[in-house]
Chains A and B, each alone.
Chain A
Amino acid sequence: MKLPPLKSRTAALLAVLVPLLGVFIYVLLRSGPLAPIPVTVANVEKRSIAPALFGIGTVAARYTYKIGPTVAGRVQRVDVDVGDKVRAGQMLGEIEPVDLDQRILAQAAAVRRADSSLLAAQAQLRDASARWSFADKQAQRYEKLLQARSVSEEAVAMKRQELRVAEAVLASARAELEVARQERVRNEADSAGLIEQRSNLRLVTPVDGLVVARNADPGTTVVAGQSVVEIIDPVALWIDVRFDQLSAGGLRAGLPAQIQLRSRSGQQQRAHVLRVEPLADAVTEETLAKVVFDTLPEILPPLGELAEVTVALPALPAAPVVPNAAIRRVDGQLGVWLLDDGDLRFAPIKIGATDLDGGVQVREGLTAGDQVVVHSRRPLSARSRIKVVEGRPGVAL
């Protein structure tokens, strides 16, 4: 009578204990260090990759014209403001001339005085010339009279002397005239110089452009060389790009590029590398380059805006390619975990060019078709038990 209830109790106890034991063993094997490590795998593909370089830079004007005085002075007026378009030769402002205008007037008067002196000298020359021709004629007549013995030797000598005096007076008058001429030239040149100086105080743009800065307002004293107005050529914009030297290999002029401005997220602008600067930045370890837009955006970006630049390098010949997530460093060696008939084996590799999507060319150590571990939930070792799972894009293991 006692056995059946006992049996059912045993069964009930077993019904609790056996699943418990089962769960225990499952838990022991499926979690902790004994559990297989989920991994995703990829086949090594032989394909060509197109490496690209990535740099950031700022929008800059190719030419900046800093217009300012060549001598110290006070700004009298500034006619333009930031954003104004100006044409070559347009006056932008003026530095106060102080007494320059008065000095120009004085100089003009001096020129007119020199004109008068010139007239006076010319009159003197005519006077001297008239006196000389009379003295010459007198001397000739007395010479003839002396041959006819009708005048004394003394009278002839006197006429000769008169002629020489007249000659000297004529020469002197000629010289005076020359002096007056030169005086006039000097005064004219002085006057022109002053006018030139006066015009130098006018701030005139040498090119068509856009005013980007107005650094001084009327009344400000500026020193020689300080800019009052800055003008750029708005159609000549470029991007001053900096590439980390670690990833600047292959950068050269003419390569196609994509520009993404910080304010225009998602809009890529086509461009190309204009030149790579011969001087690199030694402090920041960056290579500098200039990149220009193929066609300027309709709304010009402000100068100084940040831009991301991706330069495409020519595609490389096909070679085995692995994702960069597959590459590990084990005991100081770079390599990948190879899947050999379900067994893990670490294969040291030598890597070559990389692209921006994470593809890495393998120069040595792998052949196309090899299966490598890409992602793993834990670090791997040669004795790790693994379970290959189908990697879903964007989802962590």
Chain B
Amino acid sequence: MISLAGRDILHSWGKFVFTGVGLGLLIGVTLSMAGVYRGMVDDAWSLLDNSGADLWVVQKDTLGPYAESSSLYDDVYRSIRVMPGVASAANVTYLTMQVVQGGRDVRAMVVGVVPGGPGEPGQPGYLVAGRHMTRGHYEAVADTAAGFKLDEIIEIRRNRYRVVGLTRHTVSSAGDPMIFIPLKDAQEAQFLKDNDVILQQRRRTSENPAFDRPGVPGLLDSIITSQSTNTYVNAVLVVIKPGYAPEEVAEPIRRWKRLQVYTRTQMESILIGKLIATSAKQIGMFLIILATVSAAIVAFIIYTLTLGKIREIAVLKLIGTKNRTIAGMIMQQSLGLGLIGFIVGKIAATLWVPIFPKYVLLLPGDAARGFFAVMLICLLASLVAVRAALKVDPAEAIGG
């Protein structure tokens, strides 16, 4: 018993392999697109993971701090800290801005965290180089995607920070790398105006006769000082004590502190359902079209491959080959093509994924699903080809 399919493949193996590679690149694109979608969702997840919080306390009636802006007084955390079930509460600020390093600037999400030590909410969970912040000012931990190196000096607004540690895969939902700096510096960076604006504000205030009264020396100074202080943060990250359910801790804070509190599940639905919903749908739509087009192309390739050897099939039929053998040959070739395609596609996707600027996540589950989908499409496509092959009149072998 010789394998008809094997024989046929060997007969024109170059054509077969190159068709497989071409198909594989197409499958690779589809897999990468799935990876882009997964990466986008995973970025949102890692944003939540990296904050290390169980609850997010934000300004009332906002979807903060990621999906909407929110501001709270920075002493609110003290009253939250004493609520039942709260293990720790930490202030945090988030601000997407340009960070300058030696003449080039990087768009980054600057995260202001309480420099309370490792493991505190808001601090990066793990590092790939360097150390965590130890000083309360002018140190930064940056994501490797920002392209900074250890001990480099970066500029955020008017202050300079030394990069003391590097993290990986700590990005905002828009994919901007995060840069962690101490909270007080971040508050300043977020709310302090540049020098020109401060000067103009001082001038405006000093020209206001209500503030510059001759009988009250010092009033103007006090007003100017009060204008340039800032006591706001964007959210309070709360870690709950073991044994408490998140909702059980969140409810009293909502009720008695009149603040908005989100649990992990709610935050996920905000991020995935609201913040990245449109772009995720966009990618998803593209993925569906790409998958459909790939399926169609696979089907056409197999169909044309079969049609290309219609004369040989007619000969086979003429010499009395069973229909089942012919169908088996076509199907085996088709599945073989699919297998090579999938392998090439998976390799290609894995090789080019690290070059992508944003995080692309190739899940083994997606690969497995992709494998079965490819096989199924090949099988279906081969059915059409089989039908065409079986309809061939053996007379064509001679007549043609």
Contacts and interface: CB of A to CB of B under 8 A. Distances in A.
A and B pair up: yes
Interface of A: 6, 9-10, 12-13, 16-17, 20-21, 23-24, 27-28, 31-34, 54-56, 221, 223, 225-227, 243-244, 246-247, 283-284, 308, 323-325, 327-329, 332, 334, 351, 354-358, 360, 374-380, 391, 393-397
B115 A328 contact: no
B9 interface: yes
A54 B136 contact: yes
Contacts of B347: 20, 23-24, 27
B127 interface: yes
B138 interface: yes
B370 interface: no
B388 interface: no
A338 B316 CA distance: 67
Q: Which 5 A-B pairs have the closest CB atoms?
A: A358-B131, A329-B119, A327-B118, A244-B136, A54-B135
A396 B170 CA distance: 14
12 contacts: A28-B364, A32-B362, A223-B215, A246-B116, A325-B118, A325-B165, A379-B126, A391-B129, A393-B150, A395-B129, A396-B129, A397-B168
Nearest to A9: B10
Contacts of A328: 118-119, 125-126
A27 B346 contact: yes
Contacts of B138: 56, 308
A325 B133 CA distance: 9
B150 A394 contact: yes
B149 interface: yes
Nearest to A227: B217
B25 to A, nearest CB: 13
Given A13-B13, A27-B346, A247-B115, A377 B128 contact: yes
A324 B10 contact: no
Contact of A12 (B13, B118, B340, B351): B13
A332 B239 contact: yes
Contacts of B344: 20
Contacts of B27: none
Interface residues of B, number: 55
A379 to B, nearest CB: 6
Contact of B131 (A243, A324, A334): A324
A396 B119 contact: no
B52 A329 contact: yes
Contacts of B184: 244, 284
Given A54-B136, A325-B132, A225 B217 contact: yes
A14 to B, nearest CB: 10
Contacts of A396: 128-129, 144, 166, 168
Nearest to A360: B118
Interface string B111-124: 00011111100000
Contacts of B217: 223, 225-227
Contacts of B215: 223
Contact of B364 (A32, A325, A376, A395): A32
Given A325-B130, A394-B150, A17 B116 contact: no
Contacts of A356: 134-135
A21 B343 contact: yes
Contacts of A379: 49, 125-126
A246 B125 contact: no
A371 to B, nearest CB: 17
Interface string B185-223: 000000000000000000000000000001101000000
Interface in B1-55: 9-11, 13, 17, 49, 52
A216 B131 CA distance: 53
